[in-house]
Structure 1
Amino acid sequence: MVYSFIHIEDKRNDNVYFSGISIIIGVASGAGLILLVLIAYYVSYKFKHQRAQILKRKYFEQNRGQLLQQLVSQRADIAEKMIITLEELEKATNNFDKAREIGGGGHGTVYKGILSDLHVVAIKKPKMMVQRETDEFINEVAILSQINHRNVVKLYGCCLETKVPMLVYEFISNGTLYDHLHVEGPISLSWDDRLRIATETAKSLAYLHSTTSTPIIHRDIKPANILLDDTLTAKVADFGASKYIPLDKSGLTTMVQGTLGYLDPMYFYTWHLTEKSDVYSFGVMLIEMMTRKKPFPYMASEGNGLVAHFSTLFAEGNVMQILDPQVLSEGGNRVEEIAGIAVACVKLRGEERPTMRQVELRLEAAQSPEEFEQNGDVAINSPLECTEPMTSSSRQYSMEQEYILSARYPR
């Protein structure tokens, strides 16, 4: 009986022993499995991180990041600030949330975001980009990084760590001049607003042509590239096509680039780009602001385009026929003066056009009639004044018509 009790007790001890071993083995196995999972996750994470870094470096080089660094290397502090990481932009846009989209089209999407320094920005994210567009992208960054003017859109930086590089601008909330001009019925832009926007645009172009260390020609001035902020202050945008002009040269021979209807005919025919090409485009835009008519594909009953028709009416003293009724009712005696500035800007021969500095002065003077009358060197015998009744107008207009027709099949 004693023996049996001892035997039963030993069995119980053995069961407890083996049960404890099983628990230990189970816990150890579970811990080992968890450790293996953690190690696998860590290795996978490190691999993905390294792969992402390699991809970012590849895209950085592919997007000519090194060239960009060289272009802005004169100011290391600017170069460092200009290149923004993908992580920063993902945070700024809540990972490019669709709710943050503020515009876009066939070429890409624009997002509104807030950077870590609390600047509100517009992030342009193209869908795809060919080599020419990459060159334009680098060109725009290089130019805008060196410009500081209240009427030029501010570029905060760019991201080169994605397949298609992204640009980060100050956020301009009120759309483009084009958006305001071309709506049904009366528009919110008064005559004074239009005159001020034209003057601000002229100031920015005069700055680009004559104040920057190396003259810059915008090459695509049009209402769609004039942004307006909350106070309707003009901000010139889109410098992808812009060109530097060497100080020792009066112009540059380059392939024609620009927008049909605003393109300087002399530049189109000769491929010789000068600051007077911007003057022509500005003149077309000024005509558009006064008439609310698009330069292309506008065609008058006589077959003239908008520029030719406007110039002919001005020469005949009948320009009021084509003006926006709102301009007629609000413009007073300044309207003909501004029309004269526009006509001077779109003369066929570049050397007959005024400089943007002269246009700026004339527009400022037109906003202050008293100053205009006192400032004789600007108002009287100014290069802007259309003293000729355009005796060679028929030749000018026929050439322009020829240009418009040929421009439908640009080089």
Structure 2
Amino acid sequence: MTPMIPIVIQFLLVLSLSRTKAAEPAANNIALPGCQDSCGGVLIPYPFGIGPNCSLSIDYAVNCSTINNGTSTPYLPGGDLAIQNINLLLGQAHISSPISSQCYNITTKKLDTTYWSVNLDDPPFRFNHELNKFVVVGCDTIAYVSLANNQESYLGGCVLGCYSLDSLTDGSCSGIGCCQTSIPKGTSYIEFEFDPNYNNSEVYNFSRCSYALLTEEAGFRFSTDYIITDQLYGQNMAAVIDWVIGNTTCDTAQTNKSSYACRSNYSTCLNSSSGLGYFCNCSDGYQGNPYLEEGCQDIDECANPNPCSKRGKCQNLSGSYECSCPFGWRNKRNNLRECELNLVLLIGPSAGFIALSFLGLGMYVIHEKIKLSKVEKKYFQEHGGRILLEKIQSDQGFGFTIFTKQQVEKATNFFDSANIIGHGGQGTVYRGTLRGQMVAIKKCKIVDESKKKEFGKEMVILSQINHKNIVKLIGCCLEVEIPMLIYEFIPNGTLFHYIHGKNQETNISLSIRLKIAHESAEALAYLHFSASPPIFHGDVKSANILLDQNYTAKVSDFGASILAPTDEAQFVTLVQGTCGYLDPEYMQTCQLTDKSDVYSFGVVLLELLTNKPVISFDAPEEERSLSSHFLSAMKEKKIHELLDDQIRRNEDTQLIEEVALLAKACLNMTGEQRPNMKEVADELDRIRRLKQHPWIPECNREETETLLGESFYDIEIEHTGNFSLEKKAEKSIAFGR
């Protein structure tokens, strides 16, 4: 029988379990007062500045250049190197590094060359010798690089030879098709040059150009496409430069207070690793801009998550914090963040019974909370929480957050049904607000037990996916049996509702349909070819393509995807996806590949062309599957009967036919015969460009395609050999012409 507890004891118990709301961190200054703090979306923090008297000196005066279309780009002082970002904490910046090229001109039998050289100011800028690499790409090529610092000059180079595509390997830069070498410490001058005697003249049929570049090693991955296409020509790569203040050490600089750059009272000085100059950081417990008087501001350590124990009350201090325990509790001697019962204060001769009752209830509460905490900690560890925490703590630029269960419950009002914005076989998606940002929270129904331990590693990879047509994964919650994923919120709903829902009576032009299709294909091509490792979506459908306020396509739900397998044992997986979109080959083999996504995307193309559902249970048996109905119609030359009335009556029949043939190629029963997503995206881009030039006469379109890009259907795919499409004459027959 549970003893009655006096009201005062109940009050003390409630008080001991109460928690205080953490204060939000204060905003920090970026630039000097009255000065522009960004250019073209790039933050320009002091000591850099834009305009008169806005930088520490002329050495840090950024040129913000605006072109006719209104876009702006920041450039390094006195040069033409565009700035991508500036890192105060590391004393570094990313710049756009031009690519030098040497191309064999088949027509003139001469070489077209572009060389790049740069001489950084001495000081404050240097090329980072640890993060950058000199890279040469090409076949039958010798390229040289001249480098210099304030003491010595160097000459380096790469010799490349490759006489067939079979010798090339994506991702390998070891001398065949790609070569890289380090640069010396303190490099401020760089110049590239090619040996004209090695000029691609013997290999121009598959490699016309050679390239030399300086780039950040972590951001460059060799691709065979760099050899067989001109996609690197005239482009830029990101390189890292170090910047410092002055040319003295911290000890010397601090003796002259008038010129000492670390102006904040809560700043510290760090010597440059190059041995010349210094840079500033905020002291421990502070964040912001150490080069401004009030730039470094206190970090509120008491903001969520609370660093104290659940019973401890966090009190923020200048540069630190402390944990205070409620009445009847005290800080542990060996861990001031934890509270323990203060039995001396609670137990006395005159209140033995009350104290014992309180102690019994307190122990029960402690036991239950410890039990709950252990369960949450178990889930956290099982899902790879330690890996994510280590990544977040070690990489301050890692844009990913681990949210607590309490935060997610509060954001969704304990998963109130009023906040549901979507649901399906794999889970339910809720709308919520976390740290002032509207987000979409996916609560999954099932989890693959074999992938629990890999969840943290996959989150590290997926969180770094950054593409304008892919919904950003911003965090997760691991304190539950099945992890919850937190994405950015996209306001205009799904493509499925746009074409099948309330808007189905709205006129959706062919241009809009092509735009959505092209942007979605670009996103999937990015996952397949630019993500490292490659990512297969596994559930491509119109319901997983979101539209923002400008109706820009955003592919979502890639958190349910799988990474490209590294061995055969990983290749077999449980078949999952959505009926009507599933690749028939995948259903037979249980092997998910990039071509499985291509098939599903082909079904999405059919939805855009026909405005029909992918499965119609009320239709005759031969018309229930949209893909089967479409392929039959193509074979019987009745495809126009399936097209949406809006585009059949008003749009360019030639372009619609080309989209239909592309969809047919994607729906090939054999995966090897389908195009890959990059080829699909390129073809949709070509069709969009033709749509944007209605002045091209139909009879001259084939001639004009040589100006706008070769026809997808007339190109012989020499290097992949994994698909083929009808010639244009056959295309006309397929449509009953």
- For normalisation by structure 1, the TM-score amounts to 0.73
Partner residue, 2:726: 386
In the superposition, relative to structure 1, how do residues 39 and 144 fare at CA in structure 2: closer, same or farther (>3 Å)? same
Cα deviations by residue, 1:139-166 (Å, 9 ceiling, x for unpaired): 8745531311111111111122345543
- Matched pairs, number: 356
Cα RMSD (Å): 3.7
Higher relative contact order, chain-length normalized (CA < 8 Å, sep 6+): 1
Alpha-carbon distance in structure 2 between the residues aligned to 1:136 and 1:153? 24
**Cα distance, 1:87 vs structure 2:** 3.8
Matched, 1:157 2:475: yes
Alpha-carbon distance in structure 2 between the residues aligned to 1:114 and 1:349? 45
Q: Greater CA deviation, 334-343 or 162-171?
A: 162-171
**Given the alignment, which residue of 616, 639, 646 partners 1:319?**
639
> Which protein has the larger Cα radius of gyration, Structure 1 or Structure 2?
1
**Cα distance, 1:209 vs structure 2:** 0.9
In the superposition, relative to structure 1, how do residues 131 and 188 fare at CA in structure 2: closer, same or farther (>3 Å)? same
Matched, 1:183 2:501: yes
Once the two structures are superposed, the pairs formed by residues 278-289 of structure 1 within 5 Å of their partners are: 278-289=597-608
**Cα distance, 1:279 vs structure 2:** 0.7
In the superposition, relative to structure 1, how do residues 181 and 80 fare at CA in structure 2: closer, same or farther (>3 Å)? closer
Partner residue, 2:523: 204
**Cα distance, 1:271 vs structure 2:** 2.6
In the superposition, relative to structure 1, how do residues 133 and 291 fare at CA in structure 2: closer, same or farther (>3 Å)? farther
Cα deviations by residue, 1:350-388 (Å, 9 ceiling, x for unpaired): 111111111101100101115745212645325563239
Runs of 5+ in structure 2 lacking a partner? 1-5, 19-310, 312-361, 694-703, 718-723
Cα deviations by residue, 1:278-326 (Å, 9 ceiling, x for unpaired): 1111111111221122222466675684223312323444311110101
Do 2:383 and 2:453's aligned partners in 1 also have CA atoms closer than 8 Å? no
Partner residue, 1:403: none
Report SS of the residue matched to 2:579. coil
Partner residue, 2:564: 245
Alpha-carbon distance in structure 1 between the residues aligned to 2:425 and 2:567? 40
In the superposition, relative to structure 1, how do residues 358 and 81 fare at CA in structure 2: closer, same or farther (>3 Å)? closer
**Cα distance, 1:218 vs structure 2:** 0.8
Runs of 5+ in structure 1 lacking a partner? 1-32, 394-411
Cα deviations by residue, 1:221-262 (Å, 9 ceiling, x for unpaired): 11111111111111111235422224688x933332222221
**Cα distance, 1:112 vs structure 2:** 2.5
One-letter identity of the residue aligned with 1:58: V
Alpha-carbon distance in structure 1 between the residues aligned to 2:486 and 2:371? 23
Q: Greater CA deviation, 306-315 or 54-63?
A: 54-63
Once the two structures are superposed, the pairs formed by residues 4-403 of structure 1 within 5 Å of their partners are: 36=9, 38-42=11-15, 46=311, 48=365, 51-52=368-369, 54-62=371-379, 64-70=381-387, 76-77=394-395, 81-93=400-412, 100-104=419-423, 109-116=428-435, 118-125=436-443, 129=446, 135=452, 138=455, 141=459, 143-183=461-501, 186-187=505-506, 189-246=508-565, 252-297=571-616, 302=622, 305-332=625-652, 333-369=654-690, 372-374=705-707, 375-376=709-710, 378=712, 380-381=714-715, 385-387=725-727
Report SS of the residue matched to 1:167. strand
Do 1:129 and 1:164's aligned partners in 2 also have CA atoms closer than 8 Å? yes
Percent identity between the aligned chains? 40
Report SS of the residue matched to 2:476. strand
Do 1:64 and 1:138's aligned partners in 2 also have CA atoms closer than 8 Å? no
Do 1:151 and 1:236's aligned partners in 2 also have CA atoms closer than 8 Å? yes
- For normalisation by structure 2, the TM-score amounts to 0.43
In the superposition, relative to structure 1, how do residues 142 and 61 fare at CA in structure 2: closer, same or farther (>3 Å)? farther
In the superposition, relative to structure 1, how do residues 307 and 107 fare at CA in structure 2: closer, same or farther (>3 Å)? closer
Alpha-carbon distance in structure 2 between the residues aligned to 1:372 and 1:53? 70
One-letter identity of the residue aligned with 1:253: V
Choose between structure 1 and 2: higher helix proportion: 1
Alpha-carbon distance in structure 1 between the residues aligned to 2:376 and 2:590? 34
Alpha-carbon distance in structure 1 between the residues aligned to 2:448 and 2:725? 44
**Cα distance, 1:198 vs structure 2:** 0.7
Report SS of the residue matched to 1:89. helix
One-letter identity of the residue aligned with 2:476: C
